[in-house]
Structure 1
Amino acid sequence: MLIEFGSVIIAYLVGSIPAGLLVSKFSGGVDPRQAGSKNIGATNVMRVAGKKAAALTLIGDLLKGLLPVAAARLFNLPEEGLLLAGLSAILGHIFPVYLKFKGGKGVATSFGVFLGISPLIALIALLIWIAGISFSKYSSVGALSAFAALPFLAVLLKPEMKFVLFSTIISILVYIRHKENIQRLIAGREEQAHRNEG
């Protein structure tokens, strides 16, 4: 129980590390919180600091989800321990203690978590994300498509109630964080927003 509690706390602190902000600063770019969409995720980092910085941010955010789950597995924690560590890392990214609880949207970190728990589901979600971007040209559509499919993938490929519930909770969190994107997509203003943020 003590190890599980410790893994949750450490996962949250690791998830809170603002990879996008750190990469942008070291790359000589502007603070991503002060430009573009004012988000610390890879998409906005690409706008304000370039593709290399965005790639490093993506890797950093992914590792923030993967490493806590891998560590929990290394300590032979039960499935519940893996899920709690994963959820804590995602919450850390979305509500980072280092940035007054104002973080990213949770997409890359969630992918890292699912990569550590169910690589097959993570791979299929990634393919859906890529397809969504290819058809729409919007990163938000790719993310929304992948996370809409996530609970169904869980039911089909890992139909354990706790995992299905976990997947559903993560999907809801990501959709809540994409609320403004959804509103713009419905209103047909997402393209204009991308031009303004570029």
Structure 2
Amino acid sequence: MIWGSMFAIIMGYLLGSFPSAYIAGRLLRGVDIREMGDSNMGAANAWRELGARAGIAVLVVDAGKGAAAMLIATVIGVPLPALLFTGLAVVAGHNWPLFLGFRGGKGAATTFGVLLTQLPYPVLILLGVALIPFALTRNVNLAGAFLFSPIAPIAWWLDASGALIAYSILLPCVVGLTHFITTRHTPAEVKERGIT
């Protein structure tokens, strides 16, 4: 099972490295999304710079990467620690992709996909809640706070394992850290255009 665990983790990182926003920018506009907006290779920047349809497509693909990595690892039958490391690896691959000089996204959509496979009903309910502040403010950071902050308490309330509770804290913390680092360097004119 060691080889299966290693495969799952490496697969997770490589899958996470799939640069959906970069590909969308090249195909739709012939541009490098990393040179536009806040230079972030994620759904929010794709929405802002390439349009809503492109942003939604990137969001779905990035969330799908997280879910797919976890489902493949589950099918392989890796133990829980390896499964959780696979999720961390796919988020790391998205944030620091191998194929594009380790310049990626913030990991929110990919983290959503990972956690959706482990706590599906709470995550879907919280997604519905998070859409309300997003619709009102167009602020991704605020919506992310509504989505990710309550997950750990809800996991505890549902009698999830200690490992899964800790995991539901760790992954959003990675997202929060990358959001903080990236937002500090976001140009003011980009913030004023919405979808921040």
TM-score (norm 2): 0.88
Alignment partners' CA distance in 2, 1:42 and 1:158: 33
Residue 192 (structure 2) aligned to one of 188, 192, 195: 195
Q: Which amino acid aligns with 2:101?
A: K
Partner of residue 53, structure 1: 54
Q: Secondary structure at the match of 2:174?
A: helix
Aligned to 1:64: 65
Q: Do the aligned partners of 2:133 and 2:142 also contact (CA within 8 Å) in 1?
A: yes
Question: Tell me, what secondary structure is at the counterpart of 1:143?
Answer: helix
Kept in 2: contact 1:151–1:164 (CA 8 A): yes
**Pairwise mapping of residues 104-123 of structure 1 onto structure 2 (< 5 A)?**
104-123=105-124
Question: How far off is 1:151 after superposition?
Answer: 1.8
1:3 aligned onto 2:4:
yes
Q: CA deviation at 1:135?
A: 4.1
The CA RMSD measured in Å over matched residues stands at 2.4
How many pairs were matched up?
A: 194
- Alignment-derived partner of residue 27 in structure 2: 26
Query: Does the aligned pair in 2 maintain the 1:42–1:58 contact within 8 Å?
Result: yes
CA distance in 1, matches of 2:10, 2:76: 15
More displaced 10-residue stretch of structure 1: 113-122 or 34-43? 113-122
CA contact (8 A) 1:29 1:49 kept: no
Alpha-carbon offset, residue 71 of structure 1: 0.5
Q: Deviations over 1:124-151 (max 9, x none)?
A: 2312321231343312210122222222
Instruction: Give the match's secondary structure for 1:30.
Output: coil
> What TM-score do the two structures reach when normalised by structure 1?
0.88
Shift of 1:88: 0.8
Structure possessing the higher relative contact order (Cα contacts under 8 Å, 6 or more residues apart): 2
| Identical pairs, percent | 27
Whole-Å Cα distance in 2 between the matches of residues 191 and 136 of structure 1? Answer: 16
- Tell me how far apart the structure 2 counterparts of residues 181 and 97 of structure 1 sit (CA, whole Å): 19
Matched with 2:15 is 14
